[in-house]
Amino acid sequence: MGLRFVEDLRHLNPNNFFSEEQGLEGIILDIIKREDVGNVIFVDASEMGADPGDIALMRTEDVEKSVSTHKIPLAVLMELLRKEKKEPLLLGIQPKSMKFEDGLSDIAEAALKKIENAVKTSLKQ
């Protein structure tokens, strides 16, 4: 889900939209060095025990309770950013299924579009 978000919006500001395909660990280290970055928002599918399509903005301590499909848990990356005086957040979307092969359900797709539209609106201001 996060990859799709970045693919859809990277053209708006290529210097501030990153995907795991670019090497997440290296990106995190680059972000730590950047003085112009204060907030870091991850967008991803998150097993939160909610209804499919539900959206939640979570801090590091909340992310430890959610399930992720990443090699390095997002909570670990977020804690690293937090220790470096960055404010990491996860904008999680409850998927219908966490199985990668199941793809994005219609309800998760609608939630992702809702987030994308909010980001587009915010960047236009």
- The pLDDT assigned to 2 comes to 84
Report domain extents, the chain: 2-124
Residue 114: pLDDT band (50, 70, 90) is very high
Q: Which of 2-6, 60-64, 98-102, 115-119 has the lowest mean pLDDT?
A: 98-102
Judged on CB neighbours under 10 Å (0-12, 13-18, 19+), 108 is: buried
pLDDT at 125: 67
Q: Give pLDDT tens digits for 5-25.
A: 999 999 998 888 888 777 777
CA distance 4 to 24: 15
Q: Note the pLDDT tens digit of each residue in 40-92.
A: 999 988 888 899 999 999 988 888 755 555 567 788 888 899 999 999 999 99
CATH for the stretch 2-124: 3.40.50.1450
Cα gap 86→30, rounded to integer Å: 12
The confidence score (pLDDT) of residue 115 equals 94
